[in-house]
Structure formats: structure tokens, C-alpha cells
Amino acid sequence: MSADAAARAAELRAQIARHDYRYYVLDDPEVPDAEYDRLMLELRELERAHPQLISPDSPTQRVAGAPSTAFGEVVHQVPMLSLDNAFREDDVAAFDRRIHERLGLSGELDYVAEPKLDGLAVTVIYHAGRLERAATRGDGVTGEDVTANVRTIRAVPQRLTAGAPPVLEVRGEVFMDLKGFERMNAQARARDERVYVNPRNAAAGSLRQLDPRITATRPLRAFFYGVGVVEGMALPDSQHALLARLRELGLPVTPETRTVRGVAGCLEYYRALGERRSRLPYQIDGVVYKLDGRADQERLGFLSRSPRWAIAHKFPAEEALTVVRAVEFQVGRTGALTPVASLEPVFVGGVTVTNVTLHNIDEVRRKDVRVGDTVTVRRAGDVIPQVVGVLAERRAPGAEPVELPARCPVCGSAVLRLEGEAAARCTGGFSCRAQRQEALRHFASRRALDIEGLGDKVIAQLIEQDMVRSPADLFRLSAAQLTELERLGEKSAANLVAAIARGKRTTLPRLLYALGIRDVGEATALALARHFGTLERLLQADVAAIQQVPDVGPVVAAHVAAFFASPDHRAVLEDLQRQGVSWPDMPAPAAERPLAGRTFVLTGTLQSLTREAAAEALTARGAKIAGSVSKKTSYLVAGADAGSKLARAQALGIPVLDEAALLKLLGAE
């Protein structure tokens, strides 16, 4: 490697970091996107030619993390507290009065006012100016390690500017702006994939992806507003100066922050921002006031869950009146009948609402919702529309109460409601088209058998044309059959057949989750698989034996036992195996884990199983999965199109396994 190559790589990284700073912190880009992309491409090519130049904080490594099978825990050295809420102007005045009384001060105080972003709180730790760890708030004491995912967010600098202290922990909010959210959902709809309800859910779901490559495709942004642990740097004496210091270090801070004087200044800011709220590029649900003097902040201290020197002034939930056109019952995957009110379209909370769930028949009766009623609709917290209540004085004479149907509105099977349960359920099982459709959607989902391309519209057509009556029927489909469906050409059909074939090789936890057993999520499926080791042992277990599984109570145990006692369900499992669906057994709990103490890194594309499934299988045998190659790596698993990790492993002399060697190691051959 020449000195010129190293110097050019350093220069490119500095240029890219400067452009990121101008774009995300100053909101003043100085080059077009094409020039930015050209710089990034040159750096990638340079690092490809000289793998020893690659460093963890290089901008090319933002997307390089491998899928993780779980998030580790991070204990916050300084707890991440929440804020008390103010809903009325009197609450803000009372907050100011308490500060005056505790500090023994008179006269108006200065506050820093900023938007309360509707995102996900995170903390990011920098050592010697380099991003080392990032975590979610969690319960305030312990959060989830999302370092690999936060590294993919371009707004979060990998390295701070010169002058950064030895240790700096910054707190902020990861969010998704409205344009990015709409663009992401539009692309998902075009691919028949899941769409998110709102930007907050999208941001939270994106940040908690187990595969950081997925997070990297999401339009996430971040603003920082405070600090945790700081070593080697004297903090400024005011909140507004602290924010200015964070900006100097290259961290994005919301441009809407203002220093205001007294309660009057706080309320003026609140009203002005409320008027502009719908025009902001991101969602907010209120404003935050923080006492500006940091010495006074320290004197005031904290309550058990919130600081005494800050408060969130929430915007009121937006409400509107509309009329109930109809109440229909939708049938879900487990057969639960959910009443949904069809409304006269009403604009509330920034969106037009046409349908709203009424949850269950007890909720309908409690609120006494009837067809033709005028109701108040609220978008509480700008998230989920709900019917608050009925204006009984506007009710038309003779309006009939809504009744739970005795028969399923989809298949006509009997509806059963067990004593003590809120939900009523269709008893039709797979003979019910609605349940079959939802069950197949779940079966093919990413965390289940991960059949890419099998979206809602394709599944709906397969059910409508009676081409698939059970999950096993998916594996009988041919490309010729699929080309008969709308919007599926020969290439798309061939790709879907290939994706279905890849889904045949799975793991026992994924299979159990995919079956859609009532109340069995991913964690319970994994616990069942680890406890019994094989499907055969689970099939032979009774309720008492299943209840021995950690965290499985009597209700879930009964659901699991009932599911596998069903001849229909056993027939589906046998059919799946006849169609070639297979999975390795889990190591018995008492058995020695053959890969304990070894660290694996996965790269490239595997043909017979997904990298996520491979990671799960390795973890089940005691291995640790890492996201980057280092001297501590035991093996690199390299599939097709392996990139810089392969070059780095070869340079370090780390053993490289191809797919055949991996399958042999897992005992799958």
C-alpha cells in the first residue's frame, strides 16, 4: 500500500464528513448529491483495492454490519429519565413557580424551548471522538445496544470534530421526517410489503431491525439535546451554550431551539410552534422547556423518574366529529373478530380518518356505538385514531345496538366466545379464507420463513383462486401457475418460486413462530425449541410438560398443546416435511455446545439459507456472531459476492468457510 493511497483515503473521509456536517447539522449542503456519491464511490474503490485502509469509523462501513440475532443490554451510567408533562398553561406556570421556590429566586428566568420530537430516544457514546456505542432508552436504566444500526444513520457522525473530549455521551432522538416516511411507504406498497402507520413507528421499527443493512435503507435522522457521561471537558454554564457546543462537535441540533424569558416566553413559543406544526418537516407532539442555567439545573436535581428543571408541554389531542356509516367485523389470523367502524371521512390530527377499530364487542357496548351515531374521534398522541364517545343527543330514533354475529362474516362458521376472554373467534380455522390469508401472510413474513416477494396482494389472489389452502401448498406452486396472477410476469414468478424454495430450509424456532400458534411469539418459539430440541419431542408433550418451559404459563401451554393435538395441524406439518421443508434439531439443553467460545462473521449471499437463519443455527450451537472481522474472529462464512470482510479475513489469516463447509459444520449435510 502506498502512502498516497492512505493520504487520499484520509482526505476523502474528511471531505465526506464535512459534507455530512453541512447537510445534517447546518442544513446547508455545498455539493450536489452526485458529487457526494462520487466521493463515496472513490473511497469504496480505494478501500477495496487496499483492505488494510478500512477502519470501523469509515463512512463506507455504515452499512457493513451483519444481522444480529438479538440486542445486547446496555446499562446507562447516567439514567435516561423521562419528562413530566404539562397539558395546560397553568401547569407551565406551576412548573416555573416550583423552580423559583426551590432556588429562592425572584424575577423571570431564562428557559431553552425546543420541539418535542415524536421519535425514539437514544444515547450515543464517543471515546476519543469516535462513536463506540449507541443504545435505546429502554426502561431508563437499561436499554438495547443498537450500535450497528445507529452507525448507518448519516446524520450521526462516526467521528466528532477536533476538540472532542476523551468521553462524551450525548442524548437525542432518532426520527423519520415526513417526506422520507411517505417515500418509504410508497416503495413498500409497490413491493407489496408492510407499510408503517406513522413516522414514529417507522423510526422505532427501523432502529430495532436485527439487520443493520435494512436500517441503512431507512430515511432516519437524529437531533441531539443533552449529555450523559462527560470526561475531560468542562460543560458550558448554560443549556443553550451546551447545544452550541454539540453543534461545534458535529452533532445535529434542531434549528427550532430558542432561548425564552419566563412563562410568557415559553407560552409564546408554544403557540407559535403550534401554528407551524403542520408545516414542519417532521412530527412533534409538544414542546420541551429546560431551565437555561446549568448550575441551577444541578441545584434542582431530579425526582425518581424526571428532572425538576425540565417539562414537556404537550399539544392537546386533536378531536373532530363525524358519523358512523357502518360497523363491520374483520377476522384476524387467530380467528378473532374485531369490530371496525366505517366513518364519514374526517380530517383529524393531520390525516383523513375513514376507519377506526372498536377493539372488541365489550368496547362497542361500553361506548354504545350504533350505526348512524355522531361520534367524537381523537388521534391521541398523533398516533392511533379512536372513538372517544357518542353524542347521544344526536342519535336517530330507533338506532339499533351493534350485535356480535353468530356466524363468521367471511366463511359462515360458528363464532365462539370463551368465558373470560374479550375476543370472540371464528371456529373455521383454515377453512376460513380470512384466517387462511392472515396465517399465510404470517407464515411468509421476514421473522418466520422469510419468503421474499410473497406480499399481501399475491397472497390474496392465491386464496381467492383457491390455489393455496395450507402453508404446505405454497411449496407446490410453479412459475407457470404464478404467472396467471395479476402483476406477476415470468421473471417475478421465477423469483418468487426461488424464494419459496429458499424458505424450505429454516430453523425450529422460526418454524414454530411461522405456524401462528396463538400467543406464541418469537421469544416463546425460541424457548420451546431450546427446551424440547426437536419437533417430535414437542409433539409428544402434554400441557404439564410444556408448562415446564421457562416463561410459558398455563394459558400459553394449553394453546400450544391444543394446536399440536389437532389432526389438521399435524397433517399440515407432515405435508410441509413431504414438500422438503427441513430444519436442524436444537442442541439439548444439557448437551455440550460444540461452537462455544468461537466467533463467526457472515458476509455475502448464501443460497440454501438466509444469513439470519445461519446466525441462529450457529448461535444455537454456542457460537458468537460478530459484525466485523478482527483478530478475535474464529471463522468468516463467505457466500456469493463477499466484499471487504473477505479481503480483511484473508489479510489476517482467518479461516474462511464457504456454504458447503458451513452446512457440514452445522450437521446439515
Given a contact cutoff of 8 angstroms between Cβ atoms, the answer to whether 47 and 60 are in contact is yes
pLDDT at residue number 126: 96
Q: Match 478475535 to its residue by C-alpha cell.
A: 632
Radius of gyration in angstroms for the set of CA atoms belonging to the chain, rounded to a whole number:
28
What is the number of structural domains in the chain?
Answer: 6
CATH code (residue 207): 3.30.470.30
Is pLDDT at 571 greater than 50 in this prediction? yes
Domain check: are 326 and 308 in the same one? no
pLDDT at residue number 30: 66
Domain check: are 465 and 533 in the same one? no
Question: Which position among 116, 314, 504, 645 bears the catalytic label?
Answer: 116
> Is residue 584 situated within a structural domain?
no
Q: How many other β-carbons are positioned within 10 Å of the β-carbon of residue 38?
A: 12
664 counts as catalytic: no
pLDDT at residue number 593: 66
Nearest C-alpha neighbor of 74 from the set 147, 163, 15: 147
Quick one: cell of 99? Answer: 423552580
> Is residue 630 situated within a structural domain?
yes
**Band of residue 574 on the pLDDT scale cut at 50, 70, 90:** very high
> Is residue 409 situated within a structural domain?
yes
Is pLDDT at 131 greater than 80 in this prediction? yes
Quick one: cell of 360? Answer: 372488541
pLDDT at residue number 342: 95
Domain check: are 409 and 264 in the same one? no
Note the pTM of the prediction, 2 decimals: 0.48
Task: Please state, in angstroms and as integers, the Cα–Cα distance from residue 544 to each residue in 202, 273, 274, 349, 539, following that order.
Answer: 40, 59, 57, 49, 13
Domain check: are 262 and 183 in the same one? yes
Domain check: are 622 and 569 in the same one? no
Please say which residue of 290, 314, 338 terminates a domain: 314
Domain check: are 21 and 162 in the same one? no
> Is residue 589 situated within a structural domain?
no
| Helix, strand, coil % in the chain, rounded to nearest 5 | 40, 20, 40
> Is residue 587 situated within a structural domain?
no
Please say which residue of 314, 339, 362 terminates a domain: 314
DSSP 225-258: EEEEEEESSPPPSBHHHHHHHHHHTT----TT-E
Helices (H) and strands (E) in the chain, counts: 24, 22
> Is residue 583 situated within a structural domain?
no
CATH code (residue 408): 2.40.50.140
> Is residue 74 situated within a structural domain?
no
Domain check: are 271 and 172 in the same one? yes
**Band of residue 197 on the pLDDT scale cut at 50, 70, 90:** low
Quick one: cell of 32? Answer: 450536489
Is pLDDT at 264 greater than 90 in this prediction? yes
pLDDT at residue number 64: 41
Task: Please state, in angstroms and as integers, the Cα–Cα distance from residue 312 to each residue in 72, 393, 414, following that order.
Answer: 30, 37, 50
**Band of residue 512 on the pLDDT scale cut at 50, 70, 90:** very high
Cα 293 from Cα 110, distance rounded (Å): 8
Nearest C-alpha neighbor of 389 from the set 345, 423, 341: 341
Domain check: are 466 and 350 in the same one? no
The most confident of 48-62, 183-197, 490-504, 585-599, by mean pLDDT: 490-504
Give me the phi and psi of 415, to 5 degrees please: -100, 130
Quick one: cell of 396? Answer: 336517530
pLDDT at residue number 29: 63
Domain check: are 352 and 401 in the same one? yes
pLDDT at residue number 669: 39
Quick one: cell of 236? Answer: 458550558
Tell me the average pLDDT across 115-128.
93
DSSP 113-166: EEEEESSEEEEEEEETTEEEEEEE-TTSSEEEB-HHHHTT-TTS-SBPPTT--S
CATH code (residue 623): 3.40.50.10190
Domain check: are 221 and 310 in the same one? yes
**pLDDT (tens digit, 9 = 90+) per residue, 406-425?**
999 998 989 988 877 888 99
Tell me the average pLDDT across 214-218.
90
Cα 54 from Cα 9, distance rounded (Å): 9
> Is residue 68 situated within a structural domain?
no
CATH code (residue 541): 1.10.150.20
Tell me the average pLDDT across 608-614.
79
Q: How many other β-carbons are positioned within 10 Å of the β-carbon of residue 384?
A: 14
- Give Cβ neighbours of residue 527 (< 8 Å, ≥ 6 apart): 549, 550, 551, 552
Distance separating the N- and C-terminal Cα atoms of the chain = 42
Domain that holds residue 648: 599-666
Domain check: are 290 and 321 in the same one? no
Given a contact cutoff of 8 angstroms between Cβ atoms, the answer to whether 623 and 598 are in contact is yes
Domain check: are 300 and 323 in the same one? no
Q: How many other β-carbons are positioned within 10 Å of the β-carbon of residue 536?
A: 10
**Band of residue 640 on the pLDDT scale cut at 50, 70, 90:** confident
Nearest C-alpha neighbor of 443 from the set 424, 477, 471, 416: 471
